Structure 1
Amino acid sequence: MLSTVEQKRLQLSKNTEAEKKSRFGQFLTPERTAAFMASLFPDGTGHCRLLDAGAGIGSLSAAFLDRWRSGGFHFQRVETDAFELDPALIPYLSNTLEKYNHKGDFAAHIHEEDFIQTAVESLSGDLFSLKALGSYTHAILNPPYKKINSNSAYRLALRRVGIETVNLYSAFVALAVALAAPRGQIVAIVPRSFCNGPYYRPFRNFILERAAVRHLHLFGSRTKAFKDDEVLQENIIIRLECGSLQGLVTVSTSTDDTFYDLTYHEHPFDRIVCPDDPARFIHVPTSPEKSAIELSPAIRYTLADLGVHVSTGPVVDFRLKEHLRDMPEPGAVPLLYPGHFSGGGSTWPIKGMKKPNAIMRNADTEKWFFPMGFYCVVRRFSSKEEQRRVVASVVEPRAFAHIPVLGFENHLNVFHINKHGLPEAMARGLAVFLNSTAVDENFRRFSGHTQVNATDLKLMKYPSRDALIRLGEWAMQQEELTQIMMDAKLGSLTG
């Protein structure tokens, strides 16, 4: 039977307008997920100070307090600080917390105020701050998900306490870490996007320098964690222990929030964050076995070793609208989008395509072009019909007659040598390697989103230059290339 809190959550999820959910960036936590999050905390004794920032109707606090009341924790007293900005939710939050206040060993403080501003004032010792929050032994969070503009009041406030980040959810987690007591425990459900990508690097540095990662939980489905709100987002649950030395990390997985197929594995931290990775990407291995890419002695080279670069396509179409053309015309050159690539090759122009096929070549656009040549390109986003994250194709000069230059749109990543083409065999070898099942599986281990960034591709390991050329020469001799053929050939690769 559903609890009162869960019944109210389902009612609110159904009746709250999508615009309001988006404006607050908050999606209420399902009961089973909340209970699982509460179960991740180690047992504790003494006085617990619990932080629930972005508390909603109190689902997470309720799960934590239910575990306490049923003997799962051995605290003598619990004091909860619950922050919630939406005035419509305050009565429900108050009702949720009130039911635990009957033994004289519990106190709830509801703050109908901005958590970021209050936390920053408390941490910075602002003389005008009305209160100091003190330190928290525990925090359980489902923070709001919403971008923070670079010049917003939030960004300026966060910088006062050494936090540089681009989203409300990472700001909430960073502030919880800053407010935590020594050995303080934090469990949060957040989008997986913070695990990699350059924008979240300062946030990763902030938490990894101040806390140990103890547990990561990954949902196999991107749609099930907040299915009542129709949220399409890859979410992860993380447990941090503040001010502690890093040790083994437990990684658990389940298909969805029923947790019916829950599995656990322990991993050394150097499988989670590679010691030689300056970007400190957070990997989430889904099995104890190493991937085929990790095990292969032939796949151990960086792009720098190969003398190859990868860049995001430089043409941002909405900034160059006046220069775009639906079809080729005198003075225009090809503008390549992901839609121009399929089956490992390119087709141009495509009549009736929703995107332009060409861009005028002139003084305003010249700096964005690449000279004609063989290039390997990877889509930054895979299409809905494709199951792969990494989809690579080859740009073939003969498909473009005597055209001197090309434009690559921003939704493509381009492999090149100093902004010039690659040897044909190398371009084709790169495409075979990148289209292999082993690369796709390895990429899914650490990529936090459906997007494939140039930074992700830079940090991968590759076969040697000679091996890639041999792979490309083999590919050029085949009438067709199947997935089975590419995977088998990669498996036989030597250094």
Structure 2
Amino acid sequence: MNTEMLDKVRHEVNGRLDQKNKSKLGQFMTASVIADYMASLFDKNTKNAKILDCGAGIGSLSISAIKALKKVALVDQWEIDPIMQEQLEKNMKMVGVNFSIYRQDFIFGAVENIRSGTGERYTHAIINPPYKKISSSSAHRQELRKVGIETVNLYSAFFALSIFLMEKGGQIVIIIPRSFCNGPYYKPFREMMLNECSIEHIHVFESRDKAFKDDDVLQENIILKVTKGKKQDEVEISQSTDHEFHDYQTKKVAFADVVKPNDSEVFIHIPTGEEVNENNPLFAASLSELGISVSTGPVVSHRMTEFLEKDLTDDSVPLLYPHHFVNRQFQYPKEHKKPNAIRVAPESRKWLMPNSGFYVIVRRFSAKEEKRRVVAYVINPEEIGREWIGFDNCWNVFHVKKKGFDERTAKGLACFLNSTLLDDYFRVFSGHTQVNATDLKNMKYPTLETMQRVGESYQFSMEQKQIDQLLGVVNEFGTKITTSC
């Protein structure tokens, strides 16, 4: 079956799928050009290859792997959608290899296989796993725990189980969301993957909406190749603007540039261009060395509805949301479907923070269409005018022992966080729109002296170019600051 015919079938089947079920199962089908590229990453010296394709769809990935590897002993495919199963069987019969289709949930089947020690072990896996969160109390999570897997999404669950089902030296090529590379929820999965496998290759699509353009998917995806039980060496990093690979570029980097030595969070960085040099004086100190902490905003609004108020009253204090800021300027109160205030009571006060000093806050979620991942604001205590302040859970809050701090440090910190330098650095290890407190804790920051000097010149109304010029002076001259910009 040629590429053109396979893509025609894929479009036809995609149109027949139940859209509600498609969302429920996290089904996003792979274009042949991507499938062929993924298969090209396999080493070609394997005889009698045994291929695993879990979440096989109509078999695009399997067919590409068969063409690339040539000497294939068997292909095991897992697919639970009846429409997909029908077309998958037709496609595989046309290819003419020994194949089996398992018409059951891969998680339950794989866990049984692993626990019993029976079933096949594979030399190759090529995977486009489903993308859907799984709750901590779900049947899937309970099943995964039986084999020591703790993860929060179907895609990482499929990946983890595939690793357990590989022979030593087995190769996995997978297209997955980049979100597993950082953040606390995927840390157990990252640790397991790095303990079991070496990272061989990472491919990045610069345009986040092209890999699964037929399904309007905006999640940033990467293609990853790992080898089970192989000693870690250099990592090949490649990139292209989109799924056509016309402007394909590649380079090799040291593994220490991908996973930093002694990083307790084992974040996975993807250095694709002129990377930020962490010897830069702007990356000089950890938050703990600065005496500054960052925490998620303590007010979880849906759990405190009885204390929320539309407008500020004598017994309430401001409750801040992102809509209270426009172009980094504070606008309060503001007509909105969300409340402006939270009532102070013995039950609510423990979730409030004292209005003492300046706070810096960063949104936890940025819109997909926004250019920046990190957006910071400064809270001036005079603009609050009350003894307490409420920060919704949508914020990351920088504080000193749960209180605000001095104005110069706050403004300097916000300037650094709003710089292109920091945004570029952050994107090396973050491929999703969420900014976690753990991410912010794991970064390096300017010294207090540098931040305070920057803070003397920083203005909230500055354009991006002015912010970058201000930080650029520090970049070139250490802590020297001029106000000419």
Could you say which residue in structure 1 is the equivalent of 2:285? 301
* C-alpha distance in 2 between matches for 1:16 and 1:298: 51
Q: Counterparts of 1:266-281 in structure 2 under 5 Å?
A: 266-281=252-267
Aligned to 1:156: 142
Q: CA deviation at 1:222?
A: 1.6
Query: After the TM superposition, which segments of 4 or more aligned residues of structure 1 sit over 4 Å from their partners?
Result: none
Q: Which residue of 2 aligns with 1:197?
A: 183
Pairing 1:290–2:271 present: no
2: CA distance, partners of 1:263 / 1:433 = 31
1:122 aligned partner, one-letter code: N
Structure 2 CA distance, aligned partners of 1:317 and 1:479? 28
Q: Is residue 2:133 matched to residue 1:138?
A: no
1:167 is matched with which residue?
A: 153
Give 1:150 deviation, angstroms. Answer: 0.8
DSSP-derived class of the 2:47 partner? strand
CA distance in 2, matches of 1:111, 1:480: 59
CA pair 290-174 structure 1, distance change in 2 beyond 3 A = same
The answer to whether structure 1 residue 94 and structure 2 residue 94 are counterparts is no
1:35–1:142 Cα change, 3 Å: same
Aligned to 1:129: none
* Per-residue deviation, 1:13: 2.1
User: Over residues 157-188 of structure 1, what are the superposed CA-to-partner deviations in whole Å (9 max), with x where a residue is unaligned?
Assistant: 21121111111110111111111111100000
For 2:396, the equivalent position in structure 1 comes to 413
Q: Structure 2 CA distance, aligned partners of 1:214 and 1:385?
A: 31
* Equivalence for 2:42: 41
Per the alignment, residue 223 of structure 1 pairs with 209
2:483 counterpart residue number: none
13-22 or 425-434, larger mean C-alpha shift: 13-22
Where 1:251 maps in the other structure, the secondary structure is strand
Deviates more, 1:197-206 or 1:224-233: 224-233
User: Bigger shift: 220-229 or 206-215?
Assistant: 220-229
Distance 1:271 1:41 in 2: 23
Structure 2 CA distance for partners of 1:392 and 1:209, relative to 1, 3 Å: same
Q: In the TM superposition, what whole-angstrom CA distance separates every residue of 1:299-344 from its partner, at most 9, and x where no partner exists?
A: 2210001000001111111111121111111211100011112333
Are residue 393 (structure 1) and residue 394 (structure 2) matched? no
Write the mapping of 1:42-441 to structure 2, written as runs, cut at 5 A: 42-68=43-69, 73=70, 75=71, 77-101=72-96, 106-125=97-116, 132-287=118-273, 289-291=274-276, 293-350=277-334, 352-372=335-355, 373-383=357-367, 386-401=370-385, 403-441=386-424
| Structure 2, unpaired ranges of 5+ | 480-485
Give 1:161's aligned amino acid.
Answer: V
In 1, the alpha carbon distance for the partners of 2:433 and 2:16 equals 30
Could you tell me how far apart the structure 1 residues matched to 2:84 and 2:337 are?
A: 43
Q: Which residue of 2 aligns with 1:5?
A: 6
Q: Which amino acid aligns with 1:51?
A: L
Tell me the SS of whatever aligns to 2:180. helix
- The alignment covers a number of residue pairs equal to 474
Deviation at 1:385, TM superposition (A): 6.2
Classify 1:397/1:152 alpha carbon distance in 2 versus 1 (closer, same or farther; 3 Å).
same
- Shift of the 111–422 alpha-carbon distance from structure 1 to 2, 3 Å rule, reads same
CA drift of 1:60 comes to 0.4
- Structure 1 stretches lacking a partner, 5+ long: 127-131
2:439 maps to 456
Contact 2:275 2:425 in 1 (8 A): no
Instruction: Provide the C-alpha distance between the structure 2 equivalents of 1:442 and 1:383, rounded to a whole number of angstroms.
Output: 19
Does the Cα contact within 8 Å between 1:344 and 1:431 map onto a contact in 2?
no
TM-score scaled by structure 1?
0.93
Question: In the alignment, what sits opposite 2:470?
Answer: 489
Structure 1 partner of 2:482? none
Greater CA drift, 384-393 or 234-243: 384-393
Deviations 1:356-400 (A, max 9, x none): 110111122111111113101111122466411111110011212
Secondary structure in 1 matching 2:433: coil
- The CA RMSD measured in Å over matched residues stands at 1.6
SS state of the match for residue 172, structure 2? strand
SS at match of 2:195: helix
SS of the equivalent of 2:435 reads coil
Deviations 1:432-468 (A, max 9, x none): 1111110011111111201111111111110111111
CA distance, structure 2, for counterparts of residue 483 and residue 88 of structure 1: 50
Q: Is the 8 A contact 1:13 1:229 kept in 2?
A: no
> Normalized against structure 2, the TM-score is what?
0.94
Paired residue secondary structure (1:61): helix
